[in-house]
Structure 1
Amino acid sequence: MSTEKELPTYIEQQLFYRGRKFNFDVNKLRLPNGVEGNWECIRHPGGALAVPITQDGKLVLVKQYRFAVEQRILEFPAGTLEVNEEPAITIKREIQEETGYEAKKWHYLGEFPLAPGYSDEYIYAFLAQELEKLEHPPQQDDDEDIEVILMSFEEFEQGIISGEIIDGKTIASFFIAKLFLEKNRNVS
């Protein structure tokens, strides 16, 4: 028997910042126990991510500078959803722009919140297989400086252990994809 807890009541919402990729607001809430307080939230349209695997079993990653952590990090290609855009459309565009590959076979792996403590952003994860290198890939966005890196599954896992791979959405999506592949390898 499940007892659903009562949700907080919104008293007031204030938009503090409207940005290019996200907004920031502060919400005054009343908890079911009567306590009132302010909760900050980053409002984000969501993102789509691909776990791309080449014909010879290599993972395709991108290395790019991320201002918030002040370093270049390894991650799977991903992008922010445009207004009213389906995640599958977003990631098919992004994988071409960021890696120069396109995939002939796609599997939806699921969705998960990126940082539910302070943001409403969801990541929609896909497995991209049967990759082909594009003869004339689309140009990268002006604000991107991306290096494409190929890694084996073993190199990737070692990168997690060594701290070379630190991006949470990349690590989570890798393990979801790995479980998907293992499950479907045993299904005949």
Structure 2
Amino acid sequence: MSSLEEKTLHSEEIFSGKVISLYLEDVELPNGNHSKREIIKHPGAVAILAVTDDNKIVMVEQYRKALERTIVEIPAGKLERGEKPEVCARRELEEETGYVCESLELLTSFYTSPGFADEIVHVFIAKGLTKKENSAALDEDEFVNLEELTLAEAIQYVKDQKIYDAKTAYAVQFLQLQEALGK
């Protein structure tokens, strides 16, 4: 046990939704005092940095209600119960973009907001893309516009705040680093 660990004394589920659950937890702090924590439980997600043979980055423009605006993102989606991240990544890539890929490699995984949520995002790079004629359909409540951007265009989208989320900014920076290293 770490000297910084907080011991959970009581946990109560406050809300259970389609995507998240919210818990209120009573904890004992390392100094023996007590506090409360609001914790969001999330099943995890994948994000796909899909790069075409002509080095375009496949993105989707999507309205995000929490932001009250559209942003441009790399394709992503929530893991289903028991689903392996690679299986989810292939499914989400096809559903959101119509592309399938020959190769899929895990780049990294990271927690989005560890101060209050356990959501982990697994970021993959997909290459050897082929556009399918009859691809899997989007979820019934999902609407996206497909965009294919050069790295320079994606960097400009970051500057213009059209790309404004961590997973996509990470993906753009990853490609910038690869280019700078000559890979």
Instruction: Spell out, residue by residue over 1:45-92, the C-alpha distance to the aligned partner (whole angstroms, 9 max, x if none).
Output: 100110000110000000111111111111010010000110000010
Whether the 8 Å CA contact 1:127–1:177 is kept in 2: the answer is no
| Distance in 2, Cα, partners of 1:159 & 1:181 | 18
Report the counterpart of residue 132 of structure 1 in structure 2: 130
- Asked if 1:51 corresponds to 2:23, the answer is no
1:155 aligned to 2:161? no
- 1: CA distance between counterparts of 2:179 and 2:124? 12
State the Cα distance separating 1:173 from its structure 2 match: 2.9
1:123 to 107, 114, 121: 121
Task: State how far apart, in whole Å, the 1-side matches of 2:129 and 2:179 are.
Answer: 16
Deviation at 1:181, TM superposition (A): 6.7
CA RMSD of aligned residues (A): 1.5
Cα distance in 2 for residues equivalent to 1:46 and 1:129: 23
Is the alpha carbon distance of 1:87 and 1:181 closer, same or farther for their aligned partners in structure 2, counting shifts above 3 Å?
Answer: farther
Distance 1:73 1:110 in 2: 22
2: CA distance between counterparts of 1:56 and 1:177?
14
Distance 1:184 1:32 in 2: 47
Select the residue among 76, 79, 87 that pairs with 1:78: 76
| Structure 2 gap ranges (5+) | none
The residue number in structure 1 matching 2:22 is 24
Letter in 1 for 2:129: L
Contact 2:151/2:172 (<8 A) preserved: no
1:88-141 deviations in whole A, cap 9, x for unaligned?
000100000000111111111010001111110000000011111111111111
What is the deviation of 1:42?
0.8
TM-score scaled by structure 1?
0.91
Conserved? CA contact 1:109–1:176, under 8 Å: no
Q: How high is the TM-score relative to the length of structure 2?
A: 0.94
Matches within 5 A, 1:100-111: 100-111=98-109
List gaps (5 residues or longer) in structure 1.
none
Report the number of matched residues: 182
For residues 24 and 100 of structure 2, the distance between their equivalents in structure 1, rounded to whole angstroms, comes to 40
